[in-house]
Structure 1
Amino acid sequence: MSFEQEWGELKAAAAMRLNQAGGAGGSGPKGSADFVVKDDELGGIGHAAFGLFNKLEPTGKHAKTASETASKGLTGDGFTTGAAFTEVIGTWEKQVKSLLQACAHISNHLDYTKKARKSDDEWLETQLRIVGPVAPGADGAVPASQLNKYFR
């Protein structure tokens, strides 16, 4: 089997799995599944990432001084493991910094997503006022949850 054939089969299998996500009918135009994210869910995930960031920074460094002292002591006593320990300390610091950056990125991205989604919803609501009143006396705004009835 050629690479192109195998790649085509893998892409088709992945597309089939994606089309079935969210229910047996798929999530395409004929399916009933919708992508729904609630603000409190975004906030909870963002808050957890922010909390991890705040706790990781001090706890990721709590053994640094003792580790550096041990490394210097081992090196001073002629043990080659002292230099290896210094390298481990450096690797650990890089990993902690990477995880801190990832937590900050997640938290900031979710904050942005929440604000952008709210802004998009407000823009849609404003645009849909031209559809007409939903009920007598209503201002004409169509909630996003009711949009499907205008496209079927």
Structure 2
Amino acid sequence: MSFEGEWAAVKAAAAMRLNQAGGTGGSTPAKGSADYVIEDDDLGAIGHAAYGLFNGLQAGGKHAGAASETAASGLKGDGFDAGAALSEVNGTWETQVRTLLQACAHISNHLNFTKKSAKADDDWIAAQLRIVGPVAPGDDGAVPVSKISQFFR
């Protein structure tokens, strides 16, 4: 089989797997189900994991840096090319650790922002629905955000 044929088969298999993600088979969400839902518990768990990875990596990712540089200097001083190579590897490792730390911080910060933003949006929508007034006798006019879809049918 040619490369193009193999590549087309791999792309088709990947597309099929993506279309089946979540068990919807690539179809639109069922009537009444939300297509975009933010769960605070999910955001919190992901943010906590990113924060934990950040803290663990900050200490654990750098613990061998000083020893590696000392070894690299010693090897270079003795005329071994491995010293320069070890120094380069250590520099690359430190760059990768800093990049991963920045990514973890970005994920954690973004999730905090998303959580606050979604809460602010929900509060604004609830306030707008209160302006509409009571929807049933004895109702105080507060409509839960989860009931919004009833107004758009």
- Post-superposition offset of 1:36: 1.5
**What pairs up with 1:63-78 in 2 under 5 angstroms?**
63-78=64-79
SS at 1:54 equivalent: helix
Aligned partner of 1:87 in structure 2 is 88
Whole-angstrom distance in 1 between the partners of 2:41 and 2:22: 23
Judging changes above 3 Å, is the alpha-carbon distance between structure 1 residues 95 and 25 closer, same or farther for their aligned structure 2 residues? closer
Q: Structure 1: which 5+ residue stretches go unaligned?
A: 1-9
The TM-score with structure 2 as length reference comes to 0.79
CA-based RMSD:
2.5
Task: Give the ranges of 4+ consecutive aligned residues of structure 1 lying more than 4 Å apart after TM superposition.
Answer: none
Whole-angstrom distance in 2 between the partners of 1:89 and 1:25: 45
Whole-angstrom distance in 2 between the partners of 1:24 and 1:145: 25
Whole-angstrom distance in 2 between the partners of 1:22 and 1:113: 26
- Post-superposition offset of 1:133: 1.8
Aligned partner of 2:3 in structure 1 is none
Whole-angstrom distance in 1 between the partners of 2:99 and 2:149: 43
SS at 2:91 equivalent: helix
Q: Structure 2: which 5+ residue stretches go unaligned?
A: 1-11
Aligned partner of 2:8 in structure 1 is none
The TM-score with structure 1 as length reference comes to 0.79
